[in-house]
Amino acid sequence: MRRRDFLKRTAAAAAGTFAAAHVLPARAQAHKDTLLTLSEGGPNNLDVMGVGTNRPGYEASWNTYDRLVTYGVKKDADGNDHYDSAKIAPELAESWDLGDMSVTFKLRKDAKFHDGTPVTAKDVKWSFDRAVTVGGAPTFQMAAGSMQKPEQFVAVDDYTFRIDFLRKDKLTLPDLTVPSAAVINSELAKKHATDKDPWAMDWLKNNEAGGGAFKIEKWTPGQELIYQRFDEWKSGPVPKIQRVIWRIVPSAGNRRALLERGDADISVDLPPKDVAEMANDKKLTVVGSLIESALIYLSMNVKIPPFDKVKVRQAVAYAIPYQKIMDAAMFGRGKPMFGGPSEVTTTDWPQPTPYVTDLAKAKQLLAEAGLPGGFETTLSFDLGYAVTQEPLCILVQESLSQIGITVTLNKVPGANWRAEFSKKTLPLLANVFGAWLDYPEYFFYWNYHGQNSLFNDMSYQNPAMDKLIDAARFETDPKKYDEEVEGFITTAFADVPRIPLFQPWLDVAMQKNVTGYRYWFHRQLDYRQLAKT
Amino acid sequence: MTATLRHARYVLSENPVTAFAFALFFLLALCAALGPALAPFDPLASDTAEALTGPSAVHWFGTDQLGRDIFSRIVVATRLDLGIAVTSVALAFGIGTLLGLAAGYCGGWIDRIVGRAVDTIMAFPLFVLAMGIVAALGNNVANIVYATAIINLPIYARLSRSEANVRRNAGFVEAARLCGNGEARIVLAQLLPNIMPLMMVQVSLTLGYAILNAAGLSFIGLGVRPPTAEWGIMVAEGASFIVSGEWWVAFFPGIVLMSAVFCFNLMGDGLRDIVDPLRRT
Amino acid sequence: MIVLRRLATALPVIAGVIVVTFLLTRALPGDPAVYFAGPAATEQAIEEIRHRLGFDRTLPVQFFDYLQRLAHGDLGTSLTTGQPVTTELLTRLPASAELMLLALFLSVAIAVPLGIAAAMRPGSPVDHACRIITTAGVSLPTFFTGLLLVYVFYYLLGVAPAPLGRLDVFDSAPPQHSGFYLIDSLLAGDFETFRAALAQLVLPAATMAIFTLAPLARITRAAMLGALGSEFIRTARASGLARHRVVFVYAFRNAVLPVITTLGMVFSFMLGANVLVEKVFAWPGLGSYAVEALIASDYAPVQGFVLMMALLYVLLNLVIDLVYGLVDPRVRLEA
């Protein structure tokens, strides 16, 4: 009766709405110059030198600011474009003269910021002074290339800029290619500086003052960021894409669905399983690049018993179900770091350890360490990486239970993770670390050195290894360098405070008509090379 | 007694849906009681070679992303889910009803304090309050139970308060007072049994809600810890596989979850029909 | 008069909410000082930041600070988005409100007629069907329903638009008047945008509506049954009034009171279910904001969100009481 009528009417109305939505023109295809990229999270700050700026913030900075120099490009094993760490190429600086204790850059004379102001050496000085003064991540990153004091930066004249060295460091020049070494429009920024905020941190958080290939048209934090090409960009070939829309879509399933239906162009952080399947389907282009100097690993805090006994640590290393993790957590999208040769003969880093899954050997080592009955412990991991870390940890937990080690899993939410592991109270944890500068001694300096930095989550302190690391960092003799590097890698494997598991890949999925993708060390998208055919 | 049973049977026969709900409830209770004995596979044993295989003769509900048998996990999870639901509802019911009775019967400042406390809890969006409590206290089953108990407390408090208020000066209460019964005795021995039927209806409905609450918390990441089998967390984990076509990982736990909640809700309705005096005419 | 009295009784509740929220968020794990200090911070640097942000002071002092800032409308800054909480809450409020109101409308449009029909024929298949449909709706977890709808209607059938939020990527928002895209686009005469916004709204609103069908249908049915069985209806029927008039003009008007009360309860429930639905549909509303902040132990947005919800709830109850007074003369006379 009436209800039936009413229900019929409601159903008809709903169907009509759906039909209307379907009949609307498919706008997604109408825009050849516009790129739609999706990701799980967005920038929390547009200023790469901001407090607590996250990785999406680095992507925004990379595309809207220029740096003095950049890397060249080469092809990787699969024929995809890959940044070339051996070739430093001009960006804002046209040429440079590397002296003994200083380097002098000649800036290009036609470069302008987005508001039309010419880029001069005083902007570079202001930006670098800012980077080494504000503290936090940018200062730490600049220091990695021995750039620590504002006195080192000299604006010789409008288009000549010099950096004086504190010491000879082969990382100084590469350190100028990183996102943190951005060149900011100092005049514009200074207009918004205050007495309490001399570096305009507040204003630059929500506004960009760069001269990069893209300008920011609109930013709605947590939702989307729209870029517009800066047509007067002179530091390289003008990008083919005119507009980039970056949308935040928290659900990975939705991101995948959007890509597969052709409603989005490119996405970077999809789960390995989805990527593996999309690679198989061949409807989309999937590029997987090995991330240099990066590792997914298990760390044991050597200050917390029983992980202070080397045999216990080795037992755990033999009890990890490596291949199972590779299949069920990584879906093959990673390079195994286990089952390698028994002796270290190269300085490649990362390289596989000699450990394999051998439960009998693990039990034996535990017994030798005086713990034949096993023990109890907690395995912590970052919820932000749960897609791979959770299955990984569940499998580890299961395997360890077979040698008598009872493990409770501890999921730590993303923003708390840094706080948690910096306290160095976690006995066992799964983590990921990737260095921007691809040198083994750099990786070891931050992860294994007794200076006990934040990233040394094993609280590992071994003076013998420290000597080797320190020597390798400034070593000029190639033969001695090889000995030192192989030396500290051998110690790391024998002592095994940290069990390397995999070298991760960076997987990017894109429509077949998107070309020009180039893998960068910061693992974010560079829109300047992309094009849609 | 027999009159009630006869009436109950009458209602059930008139209402096959309710009868079905009661039957389902007994099935669930059986699963919870027998638990692991009914599971063909070890719910925690992974078998990555068999990961993400669909329903088959060997794995009735298929396997999940680590190769664990979904049917076994669902059966074992029954005990945990029902346990969480029953414990939290028992707590909410016990504390809430007593507070409400005291408030409704005594009035005065007890009424005002309890009223304010209950209003404060109800001023929060309840699920967000549960999220906050679990986030602050930590992810474990105990805290999920406490959080669920706290957010369901107000319903019982309000219901028992209004019922006690209405019956405060009813005939049988006056009679009990005249017989010399103390106030506490009146509340516990006279009022409480009198409102029990209505409360039972509410209990049944809240049981369903408690299970959904735990499932929602798991979806956000604040539920039980892996690798524990719990319906909600299985649906949450399976959600990411729907788009790639492995529908069974989320579907079966979802259906069982829905059936359990459905069952409790229908039972609540059925109990209401049995208990509702209007239907007796 | 009633308004003032109601507000007065609400004050202790709001005070309670402020205190509880403060304690709860301070109890959240995680250390914002470490987060702000950055990756290479030394112990000393972290201590400095902690001092600068005021986290090293005692709890009562921090609470007093919090109250002071609250009085100025300053709800703090979010760690994850870096924006002031007040601005974000106000920007996101229309998104959530539009969604919830549409869901409520859909829910009422289906549940009330269903309940009335079930009440008119108790015990019939219609009655059973009503029970089953509504109970089924309330038994599914909202996030599951949402995912299922996305899978079926977007991925398989392609009839619904992509779950990308309030508008498709290539559409721009209508000029802002109320923040409600449906209203604003109509005001601007922009029917394309109206259709686009409506299309994006349908699935998430349906997901929420499915869940809230049950209590509404149930209450309508119960209230209608009660009304239809009452003395004055019997009189009306005996007097020979048309059935249509009896049911809709007399019975329904009296049954509507408990329905209104339930609407309030349902709306407050939606405020909670919001977080799940918004997560699935990438809806830029208050729910997703709060849940992301909670997971990240970002206390300022959580505090702000809960406070705002509590205030909305108090306001809502006030409105319901007033409407009650309008509809039911007895309430007015009593007061």
Q: What is the CATH number of the domain that holds B78?
A: 1.10.3720.10
* List of chain B residues whose C-beta atoms are within 8 Å of the C-beta of residue A257: 243
- How much is the pLDDT for A19? 38
> How many C-beta atoms lie closer than 10 Å to residue A165's C-beta?
16
Contact C144/B265, CB-based, under 8 Å?
no
CB under 8 Å, gap of 24 or more: what pairs does C31-38 form?
C31/A416, C31/A419, C32/C79, C32/C297, C32/C298, C32/C299, C34/A418, C34/A419, C34/A422, C35/A52, C35/A415, C35/A418, C35/A419, C35/C79, C36/A51, C36/A52, C36/C79, C37/A136, C38/A51, C38/A52, C38/A135, C38/A136, C38/A137, C38/A140
Confidence of residue C315 (pLDDT cuts 50, 70, 90): confident
Nearest-by-CA chain A residue for C115: A3
CB A485 within 8 A of CB A479: no
Which of residues 106 through 135 in chain C touch B, CB cutoff 8 A?
A: 123, 128, 131-132, 135
Q: Span B53-79, mean pLDDT?
A: 89
- How much is the pLDDT for B278? 53
Confidence of residue B137 (pLDDT cuts 50, 70, 90): confident
Q: Is the pLDDT of residue B164 over 90?
A: no
The rounded distance, in Å, linking the Cα atoms of B32 and B29 is 5
The rounded distance, in Å, linking the Cα atoms of A211 and A185 is 7
CA of C332 to nearest chain A CA: how many angstroms apart? 34
The rounded distance, in Å, linking the Cα atoms of A330 and A432 is 13
The rounded distance, in Å, linking the Cα atoms of A338 and A317 is 10
CA B98 to chain centre: 19
Nearest-by-CA chain C residue for B235: C144
Domain count, chain B: 1
The rounded distance, in Å, linking the Cα atoms of C302 and C75 is 10
Q: Does the CB of A383 have a partner CB in chain B at under 8 Å?
A: yes
List the chains bordering chain C where 3 or more Cβ pairs fall under 8 Å.
Answer: A, B
Contact A250/C279, CB-based, under 8 Å?
yes
Token digits for B114? Answer: 């309890």
- How much is the pLDDT for B265? 81
Contact B258/C226, CB-based, under 8 Å?
no
DSSP state of A212: S
Q: Which of A116-125, A477-486, B136-145, B265-274 has the lowest mean pLDDT?
A: B265-274
CB A270 within 8 A of CB A252: yes
Q: Is residue B27 part of a domain?
A: no
Nearest Cα to C83, choosing from B121, B131, A124, A221? A221
Q: Does the CB of A253 have a partner CB in chain B at under 8 Å?
A: yes
The rounded distance, in Å, linking the Cα atoms of A414 and A434 is 17
Q: Is the pLDDT of residue B92 over 90?
A: yes
Instruction: Name the interface residues of B facing A (CB cutoff 8 Å).
Output: 44-46, 48-49, 51, 65-67, 139, 221, 225-227, 239-244
Q: Is the pLDDT of residue B277 over 90?
A: no
CA B135 to chain centre: 21
Rounded to 10°, the helix C142-149/B231-242 angle is: 20
- How much is the pLDDT for B95? 92
Is residue A329 classed as helix, strand or coil in its secondary structure?
coil
- How much is the pLDDT for C53? 67
Which among B44, B48, B226 is the nearest to A324, CB-wise?
A: B48
- How much is the pLDDT for A231? 93
Q: Is residue B21 part of a domain?
A: no
Nearest Cα to C142, choosing from C313, C259, C272, C265? C272
CA of C72 to nearest chain A CA: how many angstroms apart? 20
* List of chain B residues whose C-beta atoms are within 8 Å of the C-beta of residue C16: 116-117, 119-120, 123
Is residue A282 classed as helix, strand or coil in its secondary structure?
coil
Contact A3/C117, CB-based, under 8 Å?
yes
Which among B46, B49, B243 is the nearest to A256, CB-wise?
A: B243
* List of chain A residues whose C-beta atoms are within 8 Å of the C-beta of residue C202: 14, 17-18, 21
Nearest Cα to B215, choosing from B261, B177, B175, B181? B261
Q: Which of A217-226, B34-43, C54-63 has the lowest mean pLDDT?
A: C54-63
> How many C-beta atoms lie closer than 10 Å to residue A408's C-beta?
12
CB C167 within 8 A of CB C196: yes
Backbone angles phi, psi at C295, to 5 degrees: -65, -35
- DSSP letters, B110-177, are HHHHHHHHHHHHHHS-HHHHHHHHHHHH-SSHHHHHHHHHHHHHHHHHHHHHHHHHHHTT-HHHHHHH
Which among A31, A251, A422 is the nearest to C170, CB-wise?
A: A31
* List of chain C residues whose C-beta atoms are within 8 Å of the C-beta of residue A137: 38-40
The rounded distance, in Å, linking the Cα atoms of A498 and C112 is 63
List the chains bordering chain A where 3 or more Cβ pairs fall under 8 Å.
Answer: B, C
Which among A18, A222, A415 is the nearest to C159, CB-wise?
A: A18
Contact C151/B265, CB-based, under 8 Å?
no
Contact A418/C116, CB-based, under 8 Å?
no
Which among B45, B51, B244 is the nearest to A328, CB-wise?
A: B51
Which among C30, C36, C154 is the nearest to A52, CB-wise?
A: C36
Query: Could you tell me the end-to-end alpha-carbon distance of chain A, in angstroms, rounded to an integer?
Result: 57
CB C209 within 8 A of CB C107: yes
Nearest Cα to A151, choosing from A132, A167, A177, A171? A132
Q: Does the CB of A425 have a partner CB in chain C at under 8 Å?
A: no
CA of B147 to nearest chain A CA: how many angstroms apart? 19
Q: Span C275-300, mean pLDDT?
A: 80
Q: Is residue B68 part of a domain?
A: yes
**A-to-C residue pairs, Cβ atoms closer than 8 angstroms:** 166
Q: Is the pLDDT of residue B140 over 70?
A: yes
Q: Does the CB of A515 have a partner CB in chain B at under 8 Å?
A: no
DSSP state of A112: B
**B93 pairs with which residues across the strands?**
none
Q: Is residue B273 part of a domain?
A: no
Q: Is the pLDDT of residue C333 over 70?
A: no
Q: Is residue B248 part of a domain?
A: yes
Confidence of residue C38 (pLDDT cuts 50, 70, 90): low
Q: Span B9-17, mean pLDDT?
A: 72
For the segment A178-211, what is each residue's pLDDT rounded down to a tens digit? 999 999 999 999 999 998 889 999 899 889 999 9
Q: Does the CB of A409 have a partner CB in chain B at under 8 Å?
A: yes
Q: Does the CB of C272 have a partner CB in chain B at under 8 Å?
A: yes
Q: Is residue B117 part of a domain?
A: yes
Contact C29/B133, CB-based, under 8 Å?
no
Which among A10, A30, A51 is the nearest to C36, CB-wise?
A: A51
DSSP state of B187: I
Contact A257/B239, CB-based, under 8 Å?
no
Contact A398/B239, CB-based, under 8 Å?
no
A106 exposure class (CB count in 10 Å sphere: 0-12, 13-18, 19+): middle
DSSP state of B69: B
Chain mean pLDDT for chain B: 83
**CA-to-CA separations, A32 to A27, A247, A286, A530, C161, in angstroms, rounded:** 11, 17, 20, 12, 21
Residues in chain A, pLDDT under 70 = 1-30, 414-415
Nearest Cα to B228, choosing from B68, B52, B58? B68
CB A44 within 8 A of CB A54: yes
3-state DSSP helix/strand/coil percent for chain A, to nearest 5? Answer: 35, 25, 40
Confidence of residue C56 (pLDDT cuts 50, 70, 90): confident
Contact B220/C275, CB-based, under 8 Å?
yes
- Tokens 């709706």 belong to C137
Q: Is residue B114 part of a domain?
A: yes
State which residues form the domain around B172: 34-268
Residues 6+ apart with CB under 8 A from A307: A300, A301, A313, A427, A428, A497
Radius of gyration over alpha carbons of chain C, in Å?
24
* Three state DSSP letters for chain C: CHHHHHHHHHHHHHHHHHHHHHHHHHCCCCCHHHHHHCCCCCHHHHHHHHHHHCCCCCHHHHHHHHHHHHHCCCCCECCCCCCEHHHHHHHHHHHHHHHHHHHHHHHHHHHHHHHHHHHHCCCCHHHHHHHHHHHHHHHCCHHHHHHHHHHHHHHHCCCCCCCCCCCCCCCCCCCCCCCCHHHHHHHCCCHHHHHHHHHHHHHHHHHHHHHHHHHHHHHHHHHHHHHHCCHHHHHHHHCCCCHHHHHHHHHHHHHHHHHHHHHHHHHHHHHHHHHHHHHHHCCCCHHHHHHHHHHCCCHHHHHHHHHHHHHHHHHHHHHHHHHHHHHCHHHHHHC
Nearest Cα to A219, choosing from A415, A63, A111? A63
The pTM for the full model equals 0.80
H helix intervals, A167-308: 186-191, 201-206, 252-260, 272-281
CA of C63 to nearest chain A CA: how many angstroms apart? 23
Token digits for C234? Answer: 């019997």
Q: Is residue B173 part of a domain?
A: yes
* List of chain A residues whose C-beta atoms are within 8 Å of the C-beta of residue B49: 327
Q: Does the CB of A167 have a partner CB in chain C at under 8 Å?
A: no
* List of chain B residues whose C-beta atoms are within 8 Å of the C-beta of residue A383: 221
Contact A383/C83, CB-based, under 8 Å?
no
